[in-house]
A and B are shown apart, each in its own frame.
Chain A
Amino acid sequence: MKRKLIITLLTMALVAMAVTGCGKKGASSDNSSNESSDTSGKEEVKSLRFLDVVPSETRQTYYEGIFEKFQEETGIEVTYESVPWDDAANKITVLGSSGQLPDVMTTWSGWLGQYTVAGWVVPLDEYVTDIRGEYTDAVNNLLWKSEEERYGHVYTIPDGLMVKGVFVRKDWCEEAGIKLDPTQDWTYDDYFDLVAKLTDVSEKHYGTSYRGARGALDPLLVYMQGYTGGNTYDQQGKILINSEDCLNAFIKWTDVYKNGYAPEDSINWGFTEMVDNFTGGLTGTLINDSEVAATCQKNMSDDQWMVMPMPKSTVDGKIYNTINAPYSYSISGDSKSPDVAWKLVEFLSRSENSIEYCKLTGEIPIKKDVENDETYGLNGPYATFVQQLNDPDLAVPTTYGPFDYTDLHQGMFHEEIQKYLLGKEEAGTALTNITDELQSRMNDYMTKNPDATIETALKLQ
């Protein structure tokens, strides 16, 4: 009986080991991403691993195609791996802790604090020093400058840039005798005037796709930051967006809805409704990311739409625009051959490849020479976005804070604004409720992180 039990247990253990791939050989193949053969002391890398944290069928098709081209050019095979966005942070944490990170990863900027400290990403300064001039000013002076200030080095190469602009119904403007020039500066007051002029309820024409639901505070925050130098807090961590100027900005912004320049239903609108109703012909303007240009191209004719830059602040003349690189490329600390991994990153960043990628994602390529491209050139649909990236007045305002505000973003922010729009509370109360909550969280954060540096707006000049 006892013997039977021992045999059973041993069999189970062997099966378990076989199933889980336990054993020296398996472990070594898991840890080592690069198949290599030793030729006269120098290792020749034959393969790399690549991790995509926002997989989709389109992205996978793009990457597999581009990796084939890379293999043709270098002879190096790249394995495409992916993890759904929701699990990505956990998966990378597990891989990083066990030393199994792939050679190249797509990385969200919010993770860099943890990854740089843990050594899960390597500095790229030595690779980019000589070629920095090839990249746009926004990459050099905003994104990389920010990384250098925060983490001491450049750690990522942007996959593309997401830039905001004001989409406008060109045909409505022509009918109303309004002339707009994307190369000329304009202010928020000009924008509000345009919204009012484009509204003709009898024709079912509303001036703007007003964002009333989730994300309602995002464009309003940027407008208010025009009065605070682009910052949400001062250097002591005291909130700035509760000033009299900001309250007036809050009222002016929401007047667009209260004055009937947006459909009443738009109090419940999020991203999808805003875009659908702009492309569908109900609204005349839409403030959104460059990714919407692809939808406009698909659903509208060229003479129906155009893009204006984000309006300038009347206080300091800056164009505050929430520019970001959604999923930058980084080289992991576990890569056995960072030089070869860089070859892949450099290949992905080449103008022709970057253009192909950005056309799929609606981003703006990161290199200067794309200005000659049909799509991203002076006469292309993305011209206004490219132009903003090189505008010396461009500035990136700060976020809501260095703490977790997901729950506020998905609830309180837009609920407070909605209460004001419905006349259930005063504008001052709504803004104070929001800023008090932000201040309370900022205070908690400062208590826990007394040495933390307060984030400030990034400016090209």
Chain B
Amino acid sequence: MKKKWDKRKPGHHAEKSKMEPYFYILPVVLLLILTFGYPLLKSIIMAFQNYKLSNINDVYFNNFANFKKMFGDSDFLLLLKNSLIYVVISVTGQFVLGLILALTLKQKFRGRGLYQAIVFLPWAFSTFVVGLLFRWSFNGEYGVVNDLLIRAGIVDKGIAWLGTPGLSLVIIILAMIWLGIPFFGIMILAALQSIPEEVYEAADMDGCGLINKFFNITLPFIKPTVIITILLRTIWIFNSFDLVVIVTGGGPANYSQTLPSFMYTKAFSGYDFGLAGALGLMLMVILSIYAMVFLKISNYDKAGDF
């Protein structure tokens, strides 16, 4: 007796197998389209609309009016400058301190586990808690930082950290660096632990010094991890607005405001979703260009080749 599938045309089974993976990923794809694709598309559309939640009955396409308003804002260059300073210093600080942390933790010493647990703790904190911690620590009247500085005789009156242009952004950057060191530390430590000990032993036999070993063995081995971590952290930090909103609200006079926090304010305080959409679209373009250029100049595809 011939089986049913034998009647089918040759190649049918192969075709079915070819389609099979797509069926498996279909639920996730649908979920992504629903939760990510639709909002993305909607925000792109809103970028070209007069879309104010306070006047929802008057939504219409206004061409490039939102972009004109965005670039025409007298504080736009200040926001761009703040964003760049915030990202560059935060990522650099996190990378350097994270690398030092990872190199330290690679060595075996007494109490390493406990030390590791303590220094990785900030990563477990919510940004909201970290924001409040820094906001209160740097409070001009009651803050612990001013109290310590006055007691140490470094200053004779409290500094208005959060109310002074320049300083307010520094506090947010400090908070961001403190928050992000563990992530770099964990990632780099994992990469360091994957370097075979034999390579270092061979280098020792060749009389290679500590600095030479670091630049010629350690760094090339951890390069792929470092590149991808820097890329990810840059995108995350550039997009993050929570610390800014919690610590200073972007003030005073936008001196600690970044583009994403400005976007958040326009959307959820000013209810101007059209302008917020335009800002979001611009951020997306900036980050896409950054990711492409960064991967290109860092030779990511060749990283790790020796």
Contacts and interface: CB of A to CB of B under 8 A. Distances in A.
Contacts of A415: 75, 253-254
B271 A407 contact: yes
B269 A410 contact: yes
A129 to B, nearest CB: 35
Nearest to B256: A268
A36 B251 CA distance: 58
Contact of B141 (A265, A268, A419): A265
Contact of B253 (A263, A264, A282, A419): A419
Nearest to B168: A268
Most-contacted residue by chain B among A89, A213, A265 (CB, 10 A): A265
Most-contacted residue by chain A among B52, B160, B251 (CB, 10 A): B251
Given A213-B249, A213-B251, A411 B140 contact: no
A411 B266 CA distance: 8
Contact of A263 (B141, B251, B252): B141
Interface residues of B, number: 28
Interface in A172-208: 204
Nearest to A403: B55
A264 B164 contact: yes
Given A266-B163, A268-B162, A422-B165, A407 B252 contact: no
A268 B269 contact: no
Nearest to A201: B157
A410 B270 CA distance: 6
Given A268-B252, A415-B75, A421-B252, A263 B160 contact: yes
A265 B163 contact: yes
Most-contacted residue by chain B among A213, A268, A270 (CB, 10 A): A268
Contacts of B253: 415, 418-419, 421-422, 424
Interface string B44-66: 00000000101110000000000
Nearest to B55: A404
Interface string B260-286: 000001100111100100000000000
Given A265-B160, A406-B54, 4 more contacts: A264-B160, A411-B269, A422-B165, A424-B253
Interface of B: 52, 54-56, 75, 139-141, 160, 162-165, 168, 248-249, 251-255, 265-266, 269-272, 275
6 closest A-B pairs by beta carbon, nearest first, are: A264-B160, A407-B270, A418-B253, A410-B269, A265-B140, A265-B163
Interface of A: 89-90, 204, 212-214, 263-268, 270, 282, 404, 406-407, 410-411, 415, 418-419, 421-422, 424
5 contacts: A212-B252, A213-B251, A265-B139, A404-B54, A415-B254
